[in-house]
Structure 1
Amino acid sequence: MEKIALFVLFTSSFLVVDSDCQADFKKCSLKCAEAHVSSKTMKESSCPQTAYVFPRKSATDFIRVKYPMAPIDDFSVCTWIKIYGSGIFTGTLLSYATVEDSNELVIIYQGNHDEQVIAKSEFGNRKHKLKRGVQNHLCYTFQRSAGTVNIYHDGTFQAKMNYKKKNKIPAGGTFLIGQEQDSPAGSFVVDQAIHGEIRNYMAWNRVLTAAEITKMYQSKCYCAPGHILSLLPEYIQLSGAVNGINVADECN
């Protein structure tokens, strides 16, 4: 079987992938994502315009990043999210689990309007003010050396969480969006599923500045430089009823 080298966003090295897997992900037991992506997404000067809908509350509906991560030191993640349905929003924006710790890095919304950020099984909580039926812009920045997480909503700083543990998040874990893992890629529950849509979900291996975050909120056509992850179809697999949705190309 022919092997080819691909440069993987999460690492500074090369990963060898079977050419058959590129041509047909089903041969690797993967489901190929079918998102409608802007024709400009491959240009470094533009943002990857991606969007996915989670049409129901289901333990089977999530997005999985296919490629392994390098160890996480400083880290930022941002996304637009539109919440469907009624009542108190619950759902998981990020779950990164390893065999050693299922709560290496978690962003989850629980009952009673609780926003919970977990780093190395250390919990931080606050009340959130996300709105249903509209696009909310969220950013989280993790600074390992300081043991802090900063939270931004709609381009504005909201809160800082402090953590005692300052170890790097290790490589080799499972990265999911839409479900929280009590074991790697498993032990899912309905209440922790997302019911809504996410757009332009991206991550960086550095702490974004407040100015960069504000600018991304003000313009979906701007991305802070150096992202290591976007939800382009070739980097993810979809589970359950999650589907790519058409995104108008507003960045021409």
Structure 2
Amino acid sequence: MPLKNKNQFVFVISVVTSFLVETSYGQTSDPQAQHLVPVCAYVPEAMQRGHSNAGFYRGVKGDPGIVGKQGPKGEKGVPGEMWNVGGCPTITYHFPRDNQITDYVWYRSYVPRMTEATACAWLETSEYNHHATWISYTTSNRDNEFFIAFINPTTVRLAIAGKGYDFTVPQLTSETKMHFCVWFSSKRRQVGISINAKSVSVLSYTGEIMNGGASMLLAQEQDSVNAGSLDASQAFHGNITNPMMWPRVLSEDEISNLAHRCECPVDHAITFTLDRAELYGSATYSIPDVCPII
């Protein structure tokens, strides 16, 4: 006989279960047998859906498994720089030796083509009395594509597209950290320099551009790409802090904010942060607790 609904199915199961239990109980002499719960007892639908009373029918929780071995320690990551609220990365590169060709920092990211640019950094050195290179950038077609160097205590040289321009500056004799910005503009056909946020000199130039895609170094003057043809007499000895470049001429107010408030325009093209730089020889770095200001 087919069953028409669930209630009929439950009734049949209950009758069969009662019969089997009564038969079983009648065959045992154990007085506790009457208290046994039938194995096929019906579980109400509400309990099947997760009702709290359904916990009575849950199985016993097993013992926890064996804890696996801890994996090997990962590699140590590259230390991060401290970026201040003004958007400036605060990092100092140290070049402890003069008259050598082994100590430098190589910028390992892409250098873009620029029709104008501003390069700024805090510099600290006592070696103004000879050719000391701050930045050197050389392409496969041309050495001195862009470079900045101290020629003597009163002369700073900028080279752009292989041509040099010498700025006459107040005598540089102190070891005190100074803020330098050097810029060029092929649109204006001018190059200029600021020291401690004050414009020192502006010169005319023929308007060449700086080509991209080559190698840039701190603290050595390279005459061929990939740190080639270095000259020990042109090495920089001292400290360079926060070297950066922008693909335009910064305004006087922006340079002043850099030097006095450590506020950096966000459209920078080059930053010598640790994820973009490789250190060679005895060159080291440190992360100052505060960004330098005048």
TM-score between both structures, scaled by the size of structure 1: 0.78
Q: 1:236, CA displacement in angstroms?
A: 0.7
CA distance in 2, matches of 1:150, 1:83: 21
- For the residue of structure 1 that corresponds to 2:269, the secondary structure is strand
8 Å contact kept, 1:80–1:136? yes
Q: 2:192 aligns with which of 114, 137, 150?
A: 150
Q: Mind listing any 5+ residue stretches in structure 2 that lack a counterpart? A: 1-73
Alignment of 1:58-207 (within 5 A): 58-84=100-126, 88-111=129-152, 113-128=154-169, 129-164=171-206, 166-184=207-225, 185-207=227-249
- The 4+ residue runs of structure 1 with deviation greater than 2 A are 34-37, 43-46, 111-114, 126-132
2:89 aligned counterpart, secondary structure: coil
Contact preservation (8 Å) 1:64, 1:176: yes
Q: Which amino acid aligns with 1:214?
A: S
SS in 2 for 1:227: coil
1:219 corresponds to 2:219: no
Would you say the 8 A contact 1:35–1:243 is kept in 2? no
Q: Which amino acid aligns with 1:72?
A: M
Q: Which residue of 2 aligns with 1:10?
A: none
Q: TM-score, normalised by structure 2?
A: 0.67
Query: How much has 1:250 moved relative to structure 2?
Result: 5.2
Q: How much has 1:112 moved relative to structure 2? A: 6.0
| CA deviation vs aligned residue, 1:171-217 (integer Å, no higher than 9, x gap) | 22111111111111211112211110011111111110011111211
Shift of 1:35: 6.5
Match of 1:8 in 2: none
- Once structures 1 and 2 are overlaid, which stretch shifts more, 175-184 or 109-118? 109-118
Paired positions, count = 215
Q: 2:128 & 2:250 partners in 1: Cα distance?
A: 32
Alignment deviations for residues 77-131 of structure 1 (CA, whole Å, 9 cap, x no partner): 10001114x6715311111101110111111112464311111121211333334
Is 1:229 equivalent to 2:270 in the alignment?
A: yes
Distance 2:139 2:273 in 1: 24
Q: Distance in 2 between matches of 1:112 and 1:49?
A: 27
What do residues 40-93 of structure 1 show as CA deviations (whole Å, max 9, x unaligned)?
Answer: x2x774311111110111211111110221211111110001114x67153111
Amino acid aligned to 1:141: W
Supply the distance in 2 between the matched residues of 1:246 and 1:67 (Cα, whole angstroms): 21
Q: 1:127 to 1:65 in 2, by over 3 A?
A: same
The answer on whether the counterparts of 1:36 and 1:245 sit within 8 Å (CA) in structure 2 is no
For 1:241 and 1:113, locate their aligned partners in 2 and report how far apart those are by CA, in whole Å. Answer: 28
1:56 is matched with which residue: 97, 100, 107? Answer: 97
Contact 1:54 1:196 in 2 (8 A): yes
| Larger helix share, 1 or 2 | 2
Structure 1: gaps (5+ residues): 1-22, 25-31
SS of alignment partner, residue 255 of structure 2 = helix
The alignment-based identity, stated in percent, is 24
CA distance in 2, matches of 1:35, 1:199: 17
- For 2:276 and 2:85, locate their aligned partners in 1 and report how far apart those are by CA, in whole Å: 17
